[in-house]
Structure 1
Amino acid sequence: MRKVKILLAGTVAALAVSGSVAHAERGTDGELKILFWQAVSTLNPYLSGGTKEVYSSSMVIEPLARYDEKGELTPTLVTEIPTADNGGVSPDMMSMTWKLIPDVKWSDGTPFTAEDVVFTWQYCTAPDGGCAQAAQYEGVKSVEAVDPQTVKITFSEPKYYPYSAFVGAQSPIIQKAQFKDCVGAKAPGCTSANFGPIGTGPFVVKDFKPNDVITFEANPNYRDPAKPAFATVTLKGGGDATSAARAVLETGEFDYAWNMQVEPEVLATMLQAGKGKIETAFGTQVERINLNWYNPDPALGDKRSTKEAGPHPALSDPAVRRALSMAIDRTIIDEAGYGESGQPTCNIVPAPDMYISTANDWCLTQDIEGAKKLLDEAGWTPGPDGIRAKDGVRLSFLYQTSTNSVRQATQELVKDMWSQIGVASELRNVSASVFFGGDPASPDTFQKFYADVEMYTNNFDGTDPEKYLAEWLCDKVPGPENGWQGQNIPRYCNPEYDKLVAELAKTGDLGKRAELARKANDMLTAEGAHIPLIHRGQPSAVSLSIEGLRMNAWDSELWNVADWSRKK
């Protein structure tokens, strides 16, 4: 039991409500202008796995606790982080208890209570719902309001790292009164609530034009009467990463631009204008190519990319999946698109250090001849046009990603590399606001995955990968039954992997947890659920007039926007 206590206490930093120097008066710094070149489509992160939705909504709705810029847990809506040492986590690891801060109000002036926390769990786990963040609640048996200020979570079995549900920007609390009629299949249709959630955060939604612009106002009921410093926030969406960088670094039109996925030499030129800077933090972001394990043939209609479609005719072959990875030169991709803000990787869990595996480092060295030999031995032979085929199936893939100059350049590089081993590629890019939007009616979302392969970046909150690795469980595959909101985008399913993640959930020893996490990571890469490419930093452009920002790669980048102010 002693090692378990070390885990539960040692991973937690602040155990009391942390504060910082208060602003003189709320709203004295006027307007804050933020630019997301990937436009926001909803402010309900439970209906979209997109980072843009998680980050933008984090200014309004909050979790019980979040991760700071060091990756350490810090209280948000609670008095302290429950641990084994302070009695907040039961000795048998079967339950944990959160104590809410007294007198917190929703932005509409009504009390924030334990019932709202219970409802949030019910909302995300509703039988007919499509919750994009279902993995956050994996292993939770029940959530109970002991009293208005006390929440008890009971697990289905001992939970040795219990900081998942209601922790981090991906798992915020939503108001029961606002969403009570939006549970299950009704969730996507609650436009008013999804576009304007009532929250406890520093800002409230004034107006939301999907895939365009959001205006926020300071929350009059925010728990710190001196914050936020800004009276309003305008979050503009759309455009591209290069123009977003220019709007902060060269023209000074905006104060903050998220996700500067821009060629290094272009950013260097812009910085010479002296109006802004690039803030970068390395966390767990990995640019990867997902391989579709289901058949996405358009001729299958509504069955495409679902279990009913059957396995992919080519990517179901392990030799094909391995050869595609072997053919890629990750160093060239890194030098061309990322520079100092990236490094080649073979891991989907690239940090912290204790979780980094070297078992798949074969992928760091391009091996064209080895990939050709592998395909030859598997019976994939080149045709007259040089494209390999077997039993009437050609190695020709639709390769999609979001619209971005770095991503399109990566597509071109990978297409050329794959052509060298006899694999053809049709390249497609989709507007980021649509690709990451989560609209169950759209055929172009990354969850629908109506392509053979697709590329994007993903990461996880905090420093423990358990809940992230749970995203590849068999029951997390997106499909019509869950509104296409499952997190297992490649449609990977291996009962042995499920068992490994279940064992991780039952393990308290830090060393053993790291070993199991590495094994799960290795299985995903070795079996070809995806092809990891680049461990990305999170570079964003910030005006030199903004202070108080603490760049965070472990949670929402806007996690402490209440502390931002303009230099006088």
Structure 2
Amino acid sequence: MKRLLVFLTILLSIFIFAETVVNYALLEDITTTNIWNLLGSGSSAWNFYVQLWKYPSLLSMNKDGMLIPSAALEVPTIVEEDGMYTVTVKLRKDLRWSDGSPFTADDVVFTYNTIQELQIPGGNWTGAYEPKKVEKIDPWTVKFYFEEKKTMTIYYDTLMTALVCKNFWEPYVEKAKQQENPVNWLLSQEVVDPGITALNLGKIEKGAFVEVKKEVDDNFYWAKGEKSIYYENGGFVVENPNSGYKWTSNNPEPNGYVKLEVVNGPYVDKIIYRIYGNKSVALQALQKGDVDFVLNPNGLTSGEFESLKGVPGIKLTVNPSLGFRYLAFNMRKYPFNIKEFRQAIAALIDRDYICNRVLQGKAIPLATPVPPANTFWFNTDVKTIGEGLSRAERYQLAVDLLKKAGFSWDQEPVINPDNPANPVSKRGKGLKGPDGNYVPDLELLSPSGEYDPMRATTAIYIEQWAKDLGIPIDVKLTDFNEIVTRAFDEVDFDMYMLGWGIGRVPTYFKSFWASDQMAPEGFNTPGYNNPEFDALVEEFEMADNFDEAVEAIKEAQELLAEDLPYIILFTTPIYEAYRDTIQFPYTDTLDGIQNYNGFPENVMKVK
């Protein structure tokens, strides 16, 4: 009996004290544990996956792309004051660093002043250079001063800067100032600093694994049980039952049923990031159950995804990525300077057919440069030219648009809607422009099938559809670098197909299409010059509130769909796989689970 009691006691102790561990795979090792370097030259997806999520920022975005307070008490407003633009940020009083110290205005001011004073390099710190001054008003209030009212930059860059713990970093910064090269010395310090999460870095074995472990007991963790509540109409609430903090969106105000509620953990004691030499080895580890999830910014290939279907213990997800493939026109040249000609080409391109039939569902059709999953900025009213039409109707629409602009043919194409398999009963020949001269041969540059079979295949279909109407487009499948050189450096092209990776906030509208961003100095390769579009971009950048910013971008999407400097084609999904031994708070999210670093504080181990 005594032995049985001892045995049961041992079992109970094992049950009580057994750690809950999740294993993730990384394809490359981390290179730094220093936040100043992490957001500088040490910037990499692998470093971000393991560490970046532990640092607070004043503002952030929820999964729908809505701007929300993070360390701030609420989303602040920009005020014009004595020739400057100021933002007064009140801070939450319930945040604690993992070393137990409170998060205060001192941490905020220290971060921005250190970056500016030492001139910390790196593109991810640029927002911290925007304020002319950052001052502490009281322990829970910080005031920013700006010379220009760059509204979107202020909200989505400056106020989203990662913040550090002054108590920890101040001695390092003071010692750095005594060095011959202060910045190099500071960035070379490999340390584990406090975060505002319950998890923090533990043991690190180069080339083998990185450990993240629970550093703060649940009873003392300020964010334990905090709720993020998503409503049917897009409304959003953050609620902390322990501290009483609550923030509710006002545009829109929450209404309808709750479609998702995320309750903050952490639910595991430890996450071990195992380093694998390549993706195939990591996927083998996933299938064997050695790891629960493979972190990778590009996700899986469609082939890898297909091979994992039906594998016992494996769950699969598909999400749209932050990026798109596009066809660009050189609007400086005839006939691309005629809007109806561009619209006719767009009418011929059946995105649904390309994505779902030709590419077999491996691409997602897009109508605008804002992905639909980016719901905060996406304009649901924008439709592609010819959307929903049959192949015959698309041909006829293209013919009508060309004739409207004054184009004609030696032999006008004849469309037969009663023959859906081959609706062009007589192909067009000798296309002439409004001036009566023949349209010259037009070159469509596309990456080769070896580099990107999706774009190569799409280009060939566009060529075929155009030639059916006598539009003399010839595809040139070529080297990626040749396209970039001719489009961005030499500006010597007719049409080309490439792709962009984009951010959640559509600041890229200015870079790609504003008239003052013309290539080769800028990224506006089409030479798009529309004062109405420029005014909308300016309105977006300088908006007094988010209603104005959203409205401006939605109008800009409508204008781009009409003017077509680009034809937006499709995006490729992010394919991901994970073991059924873990559970994420949600899996339907723009750019995939990897974009949320695998939800370190919200992943659950399924028993």
Normalising by the residue count of structure 1, what TM-score does the alignment of the two structures yield? 0.59
1:558 match: 597
Aligned ranges 1:54-453 → 2 under 5 Å: 58-59=52-53, 61-69=55-63, 71=65, 76=70, 78=71, 80-83=73-76, 95-99=87-91, 104-105=96-97, 113-119=107-113, 122=116, 131=123, 143-146=134-137, 150-154=141-145, 156-157=148-149, 159=151, 163-165=155-157, 171-173=161-163, 200=195, 202-204=199-201, 215-218=209-212, 229-234=269-274, 236=276, 239=279, 243=280, 247=284, 250-257=287-294, 258=296, 259-260=298-299, 262-263=301-302, 267=305, 270-280=308-318, 285-289=322-326, 291=328, 317=337, 325-335=346-356, 343-351=364-372, 352=375, 355-362=378-385, 364=387, 367=394, 395-400=442-447, 408-420=452-464, 421=466, 422-428=473-479, 453=496
2:25 match: 34
Tell me, yes or no, if the aligned pair for 2:447 and 2:456 is still in contact at 8 Å.
no
State which drifts further: 284-293 or 544-553: 284-293
SS, match of residue 274 in structure 1? coil
CA distance in 2, matches of 1:475, 1:27: 62
SS, match of residue 518 in structure 1? helix
1:338-365 Cα deviation digits (max 9, x unpaired) = 8778642211124427842545520646
SS, match of residue 347 in structure 1? coil
State which drifts further: 451-460 or 43-52: 43-52
1:547 match: 583
CA distance in 2, matches of 1:187, 1:339: 55
What is the Cα deviation at residue 197 of structure 1?
9.6
1:178-215 Cα deviation digits (max 9, x unpaired) = 89999xxx999999669999673645498799xxx795
SS, match of residue 596 in structure 2? coil
Tell me, yes or no, if the aligned pair for 1:95 and 1:153 is still in contact at 8 Å.
yes
Distance 1:399 1:321, change over 3 A: farther
> Highest Rg: 1 or 2?
2
2:248 match: none
**Partner AA of 2:452 in structure 1:** Q
CA distance in 1, matches of 2:128, 2:358: 36
State which drifts further: 468-477 or 526-535: 468-477
Normalising by the residue count of structure 2, what TM-score does the alignment of the two structures yield? 0.56
State which drifts further: 27-36 or 46-55: 46-55
Distance 1:534 1:193, change over 3 A: farther
CA distance in 2, matches of 1:332, 1:537: 17
**Partner AA of 1:532 in structure 2:** I
1:454-497 Cα deviation digits (max 9, x unpaired) = 54464544xxx56454554759969999xxxx887988676643
**Partner AA of 2:87 in structure 1:** S
Distance 1:271 1:530, change over 3 A: same
Aligned ranges 1:518-557 → 2 under 5 Å: 518-534=554-570, 538-551=574-587, 553=589, 556-557=595-596
CA distance in 1, matches of 2:499, 2:277: 18
Distance 1:530 1:206, change over 3 A: farther
**Partner AA of 1:348 in structure 2:** P
Structure 2 runs not aligned, ≥5 long:
1-14, 222-265, 411-429, 467-472
1:131-171 Cα deviation digits (max 9, x unpaired) = 3786x789866544446754333453495997423566xx5
1:437-458 Cα deviation digits (max 9, x unpaired) = xxxxxx99x9999997454464
SS, match of residue 563 in structure 1? coil
Tell me, yes or no, if the aligned pair for 1:30 and 1:232 is still in contact at 8 Å.
yes
SS, match of residue 73 in structure 2? coil
CA distance in 1, matches of 2:534, 2:209: 43
What is the Cα deviation at residue 113 of structure 1?
1.0
CA distance in 2, matches of 1:40, 1:477: 36
1:314-373 Cα deviation digits (max 9, x unpaired) = 897566865664453311332158877864221112442784254552064675687698
State which drifts further: 171-180 or 361-370: 171-180
What is the Cα deviation at residue 245 of structure 1?
9.4
Determine which structure has greater relative contact order: mean sequence separation of CA pairs < 8 Å that are 6+ residues apart, divided by chain length: 1
Distance 1:113 1:148, change over 3 A: farther
State which drifts further: 322-331 or 115-124: 115-124
2:252 match: none
Tell me, yes or no, if the aligned pair for 2:326 and 2:499 is still in contact at 8 Å.
yes
CA distance in 1, matches of 2:332, 2:310: 49
What is the Cα deviation at residue 426 of structure 1?
1.9
Distance 1:199 1:363, change over 3 A: farther
SS, match of residue 270 in structure 2? coil
1:84-110 Cα deviation digits (max 9, x unpaired) = 7xxxx7699952404266785589x99
CA distance in 2, matches of 1:478, 1:137: 28
Tell me, yes or no, if the aligned pair for 1:63 and 1:167 is still in contact at 8 Å.
yes
**Partner AA of 2:603 in structure 1:** W
Distance 1:133 1:408, change over 3 A: farther
CA distance in 1, matches of 2:511, 2:582: 36
The number of residues matched between the two structures is: 478
